[in-house]
Amino acid sequence: MSGPITVGTDGSGRVAGHVDVPVIVVRGDTTGGQDEVVVGVDPAEENDSVPTYACEAAFRRDALLRIVHGLTIPPTYLETGYFPLAHEIEQEVGTSLKSLADTWQARHPEIKVVEDLVREHPVHALVKASAHADLVVVGSRSRLGLGSISHGAVHHAACPVAVIRTRSRA
């Protein structure tokens, strides 16, 4: 089977976490019409399947592609006075995210790509972004089912979520 599988939320984690084709989880009211596809990324993770799927989804919908990365700085950095290090981490991730957006934009000039570095947990960032989206796209590289971020997106997003299984290079 090569096409995506569409499922409701009952049992969606079991399906999405164990098949090697995209799974689209549809929950609640899906009014659509937002003209935006959101993709959750980790700029440090190298994988083409998630951005490829997200770009194709944005193209098919004639929608904006919003790249979202939720960044949480460990509280111990702030509590122990390492705020400059936290600021450097944020700048580095922001630069990587911008580079990623520029690369995707160059590869897919037919869509508009924007990036959002959000200072909160990745699940919260994706759930907030889902309120203005037709689709959220996330990767899952866990061998035991959904990872924590894809699990959170599947169960809390305000729009359908496409889960793309990835394999880490380890």
Indicate whether 123 belongs to any domain: yes
Mean pLDDT of the chain: 83
Q: What's 114's domain CATH number? A: 3.40.50.620
Res. 109 pLDDT band, cuts 50 70 90: very high
pTM: predicted TM-score of the whole model, two decimal places: 0.83
CA–CA gap between residue 138 and residue 161 (Å, rounded): 7
With respect to residue 11, please indicate whether it lies within any of the assigned structural domains.
no
Name the band, by pLDDT with cuts 50, 70 and 90, for residue 1.
very low
Q: Does 15 map to a domain?
A: no
Q: Pick the closest to residue 27 from 170, 166, 157, 168 (CA basis).
A: 157
Q: Rounded mean pLDDT of 62-75?
A: 91
* CB atoms closer than 10 angstroms to residue 152: 20
Query: In this structure, is residue 3 part of a structural domain?
Result: no
Residue 5 placed within a domain: no
pLDDT of residue 93 exceeding 70: yes
Domain extent at residue 108: 25-165
The tally of domains found in the chain comes to 1
Separation CA 86–CA 78 (nearest Å): 7
Q: What is the pLDDT of residue 143?
A: 62
State which of 31-45, 46-60, 85-99, 110-124 shows the largest mean pLDDT. Answer: 110-124
pLDDT at 169: 44
The pLDDT value recorded for residue 44 is 82
Three-class SS state of 69? strand
Q: DSSP characters for 19-33?
A: -SS-EEE--S-----
Do the domain assignments include residue 130? yes
* Residues 21-33, mean pLDDT to the nearest whole number: 73
Do 5 and 23 form a contact (C-beta atoms < 8 A)?
Answer: yes
